[in-house]
């Protein structure tokens, strides 16, 4: 049986709730990706072009620092990687996370929460941040608090 981890970044708690249900459904461990400097309400104001999130997302090379690098990635075969959608892609802190660990030979399944968009070009923008041998699976958007049973069905349907 493959050992699984649900690693997630959540700015407001929505993605955290989805990640916790997914971890239960998959029988996976849980790891929160936390920024070194937590995001404030003002930092997340996407309508303010000078807010922290707007500045980071306008510069694709931005790599916000992580609070820690304690995820034991080497112990896992499959990593479910979750985040809120920002500007139709993953927040750049997700790239920081991917570039901070060795995912050689691992399977990463993306999942996201969103106010209205799908995964868009997320996989395309994350792929350069992982080893070429990493199996990156697009996954899905988990909106509306999917049940543990529904998530079990989704996990069982994945080519893991």
3-state secondary structure of 63: coil
User: Is residue 134 over pLDDT 90?
Assistant: yes
Q: Give the mean model confidence (pLDDT) for residues 139-143.
A: 95
Task: Give the pLDDT band of residue 145 (cuts 50, 70, 90).
Answer: confident
- The CA-based angle 104-110-111, given to 5 degrees, is 155
User: Residue 1's pLDDT is what?
Assistant: 82
| Percentage, residues of the chain above pLDDT 70 | 100
Report how far apart the first and last C-alpha atoms of the chain are (Å, whole number): 10
User: Is residue 80 over pLDDT 90?
Assistant: yes
The domain locations on the chain are 4-157
What digits encode the pLDDT tens for the residues 26-74? 999 999 999 999 999 999 999 999 999 999 999 999 999 999 999 999 9
Task: Give the pLDDT band of residue 126 (cuts 50, 70, 90).
Answer: very high
Decide the pairing of beta strands 107-113 and 78-84. Answer: parallel
Q: Give the mean model confidence (pLDDT) for residues 105-114.
A: 97
User: Is residue 116 over pLDDT 90?
Assistant: no
User: Residue 68's pLDDT is what?
Assistant: 97
| Percentage, residues of the chain above pLDDT 90 | 93
State the fold for domain 4-157. Answer: Rossmann fold (3.40.50)
pTM of the model: 0.96
Q: What's the whole-number average pLDDT of the chain?
A: 96
User: Residue 71's pLDDT is what?
Assistant: 97
Contact 61, 45 (CB under 8 A): no
Start-end of H helices in the chain: 14-26, 52-58, 92-99, 122-126, 148-157
């Amino acid at each position: 049986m493959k050992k699984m981890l649900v690693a997630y970044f959540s700015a407001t708690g929505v993605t955290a709730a989805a990640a916790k249900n997914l971890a239960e459904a998959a029988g996976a461990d849980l790891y929160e990706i936390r920024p070194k400097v937590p995001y404030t309400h003002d930092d997340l104001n996407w309508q303010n072009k000078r807010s922290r999130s707007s500045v980071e997302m306008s510069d694709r090379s931005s790599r916000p620092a992580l609070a820690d690098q304690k995820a034991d990635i080497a112990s896992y075969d499959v990593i479910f990687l979750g985040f809120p959608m920002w500007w139709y892609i993953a927040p750049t802190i997700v790239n920081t996370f991917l570039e901070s660990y060795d995912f050689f030979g691992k399977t990463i399944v993306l999942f996201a929460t969103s106010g209205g968009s799908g995964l868009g070009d997320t996989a395309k923008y994350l792929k350069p941040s992982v080893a070429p041998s990493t199996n990156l699976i697009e996954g899905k958007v988990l909106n509306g608090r999917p049940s543990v049973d529904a998530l079990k069905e989704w996990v069982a349907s994945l080519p893991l």
